[in-house]
Amino acid sequence: MPRVLITGAAGFLGSHLCDRFMAEGFEVLGMDNLITGNMENLEHLLGNPNFTFYNNDVSNFVHVSGKLDYILHFASPASPIDYLKIPIQTLKVSSLGTHNLLGLALNKKARILVASTSEIYGDPKVHPQTEDYFGNVNPVGPRGVYDEAKRFMESMTMAYHTYHGLETRIARIFNTYGPRMRLNDGRVLPAFIGQALRGEDLTIFGDGSQTRSFCYVDDLVEGIYRLLLSDHAQPVNIGNPNEITIGEFAEEIIKLTGTSQKVIYQPRPVDDPMQRKPDITKAKELLDWQPEVLRAEGLKKTYEWFQSLPEEKLYRKEHRDFADFRRK
Ligand code: NAD
Ligand code: UDP
Whichever domain contains 83, its CATH number is: 3.40.50.720
Residue 320 has a pLDDT of 61
Q: Which residue of 76, 113, 114, 319 sits with most ligand 1 atoms within 8 Å of its CB, as the best mutation to test the pocket?
A: 76
Any idea which ligand is nearest the CA of 33? 1
Whether residue 135 is contained in a domain is answered as yes
Whether residue 30 is contained in a domain is answered as yes
Cross-strand pairs, 30: 6, 53
* Residue closest by Cα to atom 1 of ligand 1: 11
Residue 128's nearest CA partner among 13, 276, 263 is 276
Whether residue 237 is contained in a domain is answered as yes
Tally of domains within the chain: 1
> Across the chain, which distance is largest between two alpha carbons, in Å?
58
State the residue range of the domain holding 120. 3-178+215-241+277-292
Give residues with Cβ within 8 angstroms of 220, minimum separation 6.
Answer: 13, 16, 173, 176, 238, 239
Instruction: State pTM to two decimals.
Output: 0.97
Whether residue 272 is contained in a domain is answered as no
Pocket lined around ligand 1, Cβ cut-off 6 Å: 7-8, 10-14, 32-37, 57-59, 74-78, 93, 97, 115, 117, 173, 175-176
Burial-class residue 134 by CB neighbours within 10 Å (0-12, 13-18, 19+). Answer: exposed
- pLDDT, mean of each 10-residue run, the chain (328 residues): 98 98 98 96 97 98 97 97 93 98 98 98 98 98 97 98 98 98 94 95 98 98 98 98 98 96 96 97 98 98 95 70 60
Whether residue 231 is contained in a domain is answered as yes
Q: How far apart are CA 266 and CA 32, in angstroms?
A: 34
Whether residue 207 is contained in a domain is answered as no
Whether residue 190 is contained in a domain is answered as no
Whether residue 314 is contained in a domain is answered as no
Is the separation of the CB atoms in 148 and 120 below 8 Å? no
